[in-house]
């Protein structure tokens, strides 16, 4: 394999000063690549970080700094003093003008010519490359948004689960940060990235007309009760997670949850539960919601388990309290 690493800079100002090329760990460097050393007029060092995939015929000029986990496809070239940040992907034959910066998670199309800085998470293309949207491929703990569809965005953002500051926690339903118009615009953009589940229309959500309460209750007990409990009140799961209560949830969000499978919930496609059966489940949930609690506190509507536990705790606590009171009176 033939490549030229650490050759002198192609810069007329270079006068044989002692400069460097630094290459990190776990980089793949294919044939016929050329990496030049830095110049005394800059930092004196050309740097390449770790875990980069650098394909054939790539040129990295003097004083460039390529960070980590980047991909540079065949024949892409960096002029002098260019910064390429983590997880950027340069398509084949991409040319980057000197002193430009290519931000984190940027993607450039084949044959792009970059004359200006590209902000993070942007896709760019063309001669004098122009932005063409946001890179939605995700990374780390953030999932890809390509193919999730408008329904997933509407569910997560309209219920306030997203945006989320701490991705290590389970997303909770709360007041949404964005208006319905803003949510619709965001959902439309994500839907444009790739086909995915669409937001159900009002006609599709006519559960009063098309749903069956009895069938919905049977379907719920078969598919949903093991997590959300038999009365849709929610319940604890393993790993510190929980299935939320379905009381007060909008029908559209129940439907969207079934077709997108947020977080630990499975996706219930139309082969598993048909659209009509989904409407029956929604109708049954709404019938449970309208029943109310005629016996006082519902205690999760799980029957004698919580009622017996509450009676046992209150009864035992009362007996202990009486015993302590009698003991103090006998002294």
Active site residues: 62-63, 80
CA atoms within 13 A on the CB side of 219: 22
CA 96 to CA 37: how far, in whole Å?
Answer: 18
Please calculate the CA angle 2-85-90 and round it to the nearest 5 degrees. 55
At a CB cut-off of 8 Å and minimum separation 6, what does 223 contact? 268, 272, 273, 281
H helix runs in the chain, sequence order: 149-158, 180-193, 207-210, 213-223, 225-228, 251-260, 275-291, 304-330
Half-sphere exposure for 130 (CA within 13 Å, toward CB): 3
What are the structure tokens assigned to 85, written together? 């940040």
The per-residue DSSP string of 235-296 comes to EE-GGG-EEPP-TT--HHHHHHHHHH--TTPPP--TTTS-HHHHHHHHHHHHHHHHH--TTS
């Amino acid at each position: 394999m033939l490549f030229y690493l650490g050759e002198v800079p192609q810069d007329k100002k270079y006068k044989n000063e002692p400069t460097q090329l630094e290459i990190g760990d776990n980089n793949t460097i294919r044939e016929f690549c050329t990496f030049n050393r830095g110049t005394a007029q800059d930092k004196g060092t050309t740097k390449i970080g770790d875990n980069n995939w650098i394909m054939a015929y790539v040129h990295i000029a003097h004083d460039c700094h390529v960070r980590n986990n980047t991909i540079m496809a065949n024949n892409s070239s960096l002029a002098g003093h260019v910064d390429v940040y983590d997880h950027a992907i340069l398509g084949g034959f991409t040319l980057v003008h000197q002193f430009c910066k290519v931000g984190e998670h940027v993607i450039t199309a084949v044959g792009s010519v970059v004359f200006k800085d590209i902000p993070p998470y942007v896709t760019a293309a063309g001669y004098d490359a122009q932005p063409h949207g946001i890179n939605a491929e995700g990374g780390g703990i953030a999932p890809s948004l390509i193919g999730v569809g408008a329904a997933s965005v509407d569910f997560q953002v309209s219920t306030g689960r997203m945006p989320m500051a701490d991705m290590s926690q389970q997303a909770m339903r709360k007041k949404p940060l964005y208006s319905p118009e803003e949510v619709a615009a965001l959902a439309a953009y994500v839907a444009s990235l790739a086909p995915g589940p669409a937001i159900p229309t009002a006609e599709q959500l006519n559960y009063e007309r098309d749903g069956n309460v009895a069938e919905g209750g049977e379907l719920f007990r078969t598919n949903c009760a093991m997590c959300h409990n038999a009365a849709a009140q929610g319940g604890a799961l393993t790993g510190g997670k929980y299935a939320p209560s379905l009381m007060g949830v909008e029908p559209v969000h129940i439907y969207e949850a079934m077709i997108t499978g947020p977080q630990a919930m499975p996706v219930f496609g139309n082969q598993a539960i048909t659209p009509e059966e989904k409407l029956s489940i929604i109708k049954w949930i709404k019938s449970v919601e309208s029943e109310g609690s005629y016996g006082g506190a519902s205690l999760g509507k799980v029957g004698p388990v919580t009622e017996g536990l509450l009676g046992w705790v209150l009864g035992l606590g009362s007996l202990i309290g009486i015993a302590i009171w009698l003991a103090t009176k006998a002294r």
